[in-house]
Amino acid sequence: MAFRAFKQTHVFEKQSAPKEKDKSSIQCIACCDPHVYIGTKDATVQHLILSSSTDLGSGQSKTREGRARKLGSSNQVTQLRVVPLYNHLLVLWDRSITALNMFSLEPVPGLKKIQHVSLFEVCDSMPSAQAQCVEMVTSSSRRKLIRIHVVGVDRWDVVKEVPLLYDPRALAVDGTSVCVATSDRYLLCDIQTGSSQELFPHNHSRQCVFVTSVGRGEFLLNGPESLGMFVMKTGICQRPPLQWPQEVLAAGVCFPYILTVQPQVLSVYSMVDQQRKQTVSLTGAKGLLSTSDGVLVFTERDIFSLRLVPIEEQIQALVRHERIEEALLLLDGVQGHCPLDSYKELLKAITCLAGFVHFYQEGFSEAKYLFITGELDPREIIHLYPDMQSCLSEDFQSQLDQPNKGRDLQVLWQGDRSTFHHYLAFLGDFLRAVKGTELGLRCSKEVDCALLRLYVELGDSENLQQLVALANECRLDHCVPVLEQHNRLFALGSLYQSHGNVIDAIKTWVKIADGFHKDPSCSDVYGHIVRTLSQLQDKEVVWTFSDWTLQRNQEIGVQIFIKRPPDDRFETQDVLALLEKYPLAMLLYLEFLIYDLNSEESRHHNHLALTYVTEMLQEEEEVDLRKTRGKLQQLLWESKFYDVSTVYERVKSANLHMEEAILLGRAGEHSQALKVLVHQEGDFQAAEAFCCRAAQGRDPQGRDPQLRQTLLLTLLQIYLSSEELTSAAVDLLNHNPLVFAAEQIIQLLPDSWSVQLVSQFLVGSLRKTFHQRRMSMVQKALGQAELMRHKVIWMQASKTTFRLDKGQKCKVCQRDLAEPQFVCDLHGDLMHTNCTDFTSS
């Protein structure tokens, strides 16, 4: 069906005898809803009353005929105008204006005929000072002028005359402005000042010259070159002209449209884009009259009503015909004539309808933008998808009239799955865009349920997991069966968790981890369970699944206690009691207590040390053994909280000589510790390293050179006590020439040792001695220079000058002062710098 801005209805058909047809033809009409008045060729005025009911099937409207009045025997009725304020009907007949009562058609007493009038118009826009009267403009048939009359209840008076240069052919009034058409031009007159302004010429015949008031100080003229010209009362044009045919007889205004009459057709033009929107075939049309809701068009025998289709329906029709730009232009054009709320609702409606046009053309990006801009209820989109309708609540009723389009998606769903897949992808984009917004929050349950079902259908595991893991409004009664049906049990567990049902969530994941169900969407279900338990505030649930977690993997499972938030940890003793059955988990937890929580409890340190020993005795791999032993030794060296005696008994029984030596050193028995390392462990490098490490104390940054020298000397004596350890003693001396004093060591060496055997040590020791002596000299010289610098500064500060003449003698030694350095005592006597010691002594 083509777009229609107006609906046509046949209002009245004049019945007359065949011989009288020509004489009684309709010449003009006037209207004051529901009253219509017709003026005929035989000087008759007929009153009609329109019915509000219309037969839509036949396009007929019931009209009741009222009174009729015969004005005379000849001459046609030229114009009719209604003045509802006084119930007057003004009739121009035989070049005279007569006032009749608009109901009885009887002449109004006191209003005499106005003679010699060729045209007249009633002004509807009155100044506030004359609110109780009506102005009328008449054109004289004898003189080139127009008169302004003030019409009252029982009198009318001429208040002004405005002379013209040309005889008026047509005129229109708007407020204080009158637009006049003459035989060859158009004029604008100001009835207050009497001034006139020439607009432009024309070459129309008398029949085609007309002027129409558009309102708000604007007129429509039949201009040159078949143009409908819009002219403001200021004489300027603010709208583009209309391009219309040459034989336009009349024009009327029904915003936002201009209607024009030609002999065989009526055309409808938009004032918004100046395009023709509708044509109505009307044979023999003679003129038209604008009404409140459209126009009345008359021929010689008939009257037709063209009523404006509501703007909402027009916009919807344009959108259905995919004329989106026209619909938006129309809406924008009527914005100033609509209430703000109504305009906003219309804008939303047209935006959504435009979105559906793009939607069914697979223009998904534009459709999403338009749906969101138009604030479309997301449920309307969900409702279009056949397998998504179960996500909607039972009380939802779609407000869209889209039955055919809905069947299109049904066909795609059943047949063209590839195309339907694109529509599913759009649904996901749209619902994700509105989720969390004001639009989505109005129906958050339906949005989340539809998204879940959509992700399951598309196999989108990432988005599915993100949806169910975060806060959501999914209905469990709908979503749980969907997830179970598609074996999405990991997502099902997350859904349970997000709804506060943690036990069911973990039970579901445990079934996957134990192999009872398969869900490839998560490769590390066990790790996810551990992470969940480590963050869970419900400690009862953690205890419930702790044994299962530790039995699968002690190293990972213990994280349910280690990775907990600092303010939500379990009682340490409860955890230790549980971990007695899980040695590796116990070890890791004890390390956590000591190294992360900095526990200072002796039992924790003892327990960890003993656990290390037990672990070492059970390990078979050399790599693991070295790693555990390194941890034990680090603990024994650095911790100050374990009980040495308790750990020593366990270490000694396990034949761990290195650890035994460390414990003996911690007990102060360094000589015994070194003997264990030398004689039992047989590791000379470890013995030497023990001396260095023991000298550091418990603080790796600390240094005690004297203790180190003592320990190394003790180790040397142990080596020297056995001839079998001569090589170790020599190596010890050669490695530490800077530690041992040569004169002390020579006394300890056996007489059988040659100088060559200890030559490397002696050379290194002498070098050390010389180096230390020279460094002392350098330090002394630097100190003297620093002292001299301070003396110079002091001298400069004291501003005292000393004069040193040639041949001047030192006060002490009486030799000449030949060097630039000298000393001055408090009495002003000069002396050599090295003579100061003598004086001081």
The whole-angstrom separation of Cα 683 and Cα 674 is: 10
- Percent of the chain that is helix, strand, coil (3-state, to 5): 45, 20, 30
Using a 10 angstrom Cβ sphere, with 0-12 exposed, 13-18 middle and 19 or more buried, the burial of residue 207 is: exposed
H or E segment to which residue 259 belongs: strand 257-261
pLDDT of residue 403: 44
Phi and psi at 560, nearest 5°, equal: -65, -20
107 within 8 A of 70, measured Cβ to Cβ: no
Tell how many helices (H) and how many strands (E) occur in the chain. 30, 30
Both tokens of residue 376? 């479309």
Dihedral sign, Cα of residue 468, residue 474, residue 476, residue 480: negative
pLDDT, mean of residues 236-254: 91
What dihedral do alpha carbons 392, 394, 397, 398 form, nearest 10°?
20
Beta bridge partners of 252: 259
What's residue 364's pLDDT? 94
Residue 199's φ and ψ, nearest 5 degrees, are -95, -75
Quick check: helix, strand or coil at residue 658?
helix
Q: Which of the 8 DSSP states describes residue 681? A: I
Distance CA 713, CA 592 (A): 40
In the prediction, which pLDDT does 57 show? Answer: 45
Q: What are phi and psi of 401, to 5 degrees?
A: -100, 80
> Worst-scoring range by mean pLDDT, 93-97, 392-396, 595-599?
392-396
Q: pLDDT tens digits, residue range 714-756?
A: 998 998 888 888 899 888 888 888 788 778 888 888 888 888 8
* Alpha carbon distance 417, 404 (integer Å): 19
Q: Cα–Cα distance between 7 and 56 in angstroms, integer?
A: 10
Domain ranges of the chain: 801-840
pLDDT at 807 over 60: yes
SS3 145: strand
> How confident is the model over 42-59, as pLDDT tens digits?
999 999 998 876 544 445
Q: What is the average per-residue pLDDT within 692-715?
A: 78
| Lowest mean pLDDT, pick from 101-110, 148-157, 236-245, 796-805 | 796-805
* Residue predicted with more confidence, 386 or 221: 221
Confidence at residue 698, expressed as pLDDT on a 0 to 100 scale: 47
Quote the mean pLDDT of the chain.
Answer: 88
Give per-residue pLDDT as tens, 617-646: 887 777 778 899 999 999 999 999 999 999
Tell me the pLDDT tens digit for each residue of 2-58. 788 999 999 998 887 666 667 789 999 999 988 999 999 999 999 999 887 654 444
Query: Which helix (H) or strand (E) is 823 found in, with range?
Result: strand 823-824
CA distances from 248 to 218, 237, 300, 718 (A): 20, 21, 17, 133
Helix axes 311-320, 340-360, angle to 10 degrees: 10
